[in-house]
Chain A
Amino acid sequence: MGTVMRLIGPGKERDRRDEGRLPDDVWVVVPCFREAPRIGDVLSSLLAIARNVVVVDDGSDDGTAEEALRFPVWVLRHAVNLGQGAALQTGLRFALEQGAAFVATFDGDGQHDPHDLIRLYRALRETGADVALGSRFLGRAVAMPRSRRLVLRAGIWFTRLLSGIRVTDTHNGIRMFTRRGAETVRITMNRMAHASEILDQIAASGLSYTEVPVTVRYTEASLAKGQRTRNAVQIALTLLGDRLAR
């Protein structure tokens, strides 16, 4: 079972490097699918705090990769659409191959605040945890529809039952791994069930984790692309089916 590491507040001897910018050994993986209109803004804000960014274009047909190549970031392109889980694993592997000491994941639809990555990094440094998980329920969820809140709450309870891990937000795309954490987690669920699979693996492998308050901003675009209620049912069935088939 994964170990919870509590964030006990900023340390007196806090590393000055993490104040305004992430150190160079932190890599940020941004999975994208059909994000051409938004990826520019996301990368602009991300590059203000991070040097090493990997965009994984999951087989988009709207020029997402070309748009990303206008920025000083690594762009990896899946030849076909596999799903966000597969894109994340591709980015994680690439970042580890480049020698990353920390790897963060960050959705490409612009709903996350890049400065939350610094809070995640700081949490890993202060608690010594292997994984820092962003939580919108500890932080802020701006303009989140009530139906989405209910679905996410149901997901939390479902994950508690299935994995036995007690977290306050199960499907948040912003998280950060230490190298050990990233090497331990291996995402095999190609589509949206990967978020639960990551938690499952944290619990099973005994990785330590901490939750960090983050802000998630819902926009029309992110709501149109995000998980709908029927996706939640599909995710639950996929996880159950996979568990039964093991």
Chain B
Amino acid sequence: MSLFQLIVVPSAAAAAVYYIVDGLRKRSRLVPGLLWGTIFAAVAVSVGFPHLPNMLAQSLGIGRGADLVLYGTTVSLILVVRWVYWKYRVLEQIQTELVRQLAIERARFGKVIQGDETGGTDRTAVTRLRKTA
């Protein structure tokens, strides 16, 4: 066993156990726990037993185990980027909605023209304006 395997296999295996146990303990973390546990377990197995990815790759018609890992990583990366972008957009929309609501609630009317009673400096004025519209 190489030095790389000696470091990675136990570390990945420990991480897999940690995530799986953590997921099983807390129901809210079950799905991410099992997901990360599976990923780390796959890393431990692939590095510890390099012939296994090769066998799997050949059975899928890919050829080399390294190619199988590369393809898997590429697809995973695309999915992760898409998920992160979606999450970013959701957060952006929440922030925008908060700022927008605050701006509307605090709407102010500027210098009031003499004789124009629709002006004001707070929300009450907005309501008054709506009534007169």
Residues on A facing B (Cβ under 8 Å) = 56, 68-80, 82, 86, 89-90, 93-94, 97-99, 188, 190, 241-242, 244-245
Contacts and interface: CB of A to CB of B under 8 A. Distances in A.
Given A71-B110, A76-B107, A86 B130 contact: no
Interface stretch (B33-41, B63-71, B97-105): B97-105
Contacts of B111: 69-72
B110 A69 contact: yes
Interface stretch (B6-14, B17-25, B42-50, B112-120): B112-120
A97 B133 contact: no
Nearest to B81: A245
B133 A98 contact: yes
B110 A80 contact: no
B125 to A, nearest CB: 9
7 contacts: A56-B103, A70-B111, A73-B109, A77-B103, A90-B104, A98-B133, A245-B85
Nearest to A71: B110
Nearest to B82: A245
Given A72-B116, A97-B130, A245-B86, A79 B107 contact: no
A79 B108 contact: no
B74 interface: no
Contacts of B116: 72
Contacts of A82: 95-96, 99
Q: Is chain A's binding surface mostly helix, strand, loop or mixed? A: mixed
B73 interface: no
Q: Is chain B's binding surface mostly helix, strand, loop or mixed? A: helix
A72 B86 CA distance: 41
B: interface residue count bin: 20 to 34
B93 A74 contact: no
Given A70-B111, A99-B133, A89 B85 contact: no
Contacts of B89: 188, 242, 245
B109 A79 contact: no
B119 A190 contact: no
Given A79-B99, A82-B96, A188-B93, A98 B130 contact: yes
A90 B100 contact: yes
B126 interface: yes
Contact of A74 (B107, B113, B133): B107
B110 A72 contact: yes
B106 interface: yes
B129 interface: yes
B106 to A, nearest CB: 7
A86 B108 contact: no
B107 A75 contact: yes
Nearest to B129: A98
A99 B130 contact: yes
B103 A190 contact: no
Contacts of A79: 99, 102-103
Given A72-B111, A73-B110, A90 B103 contact: yes
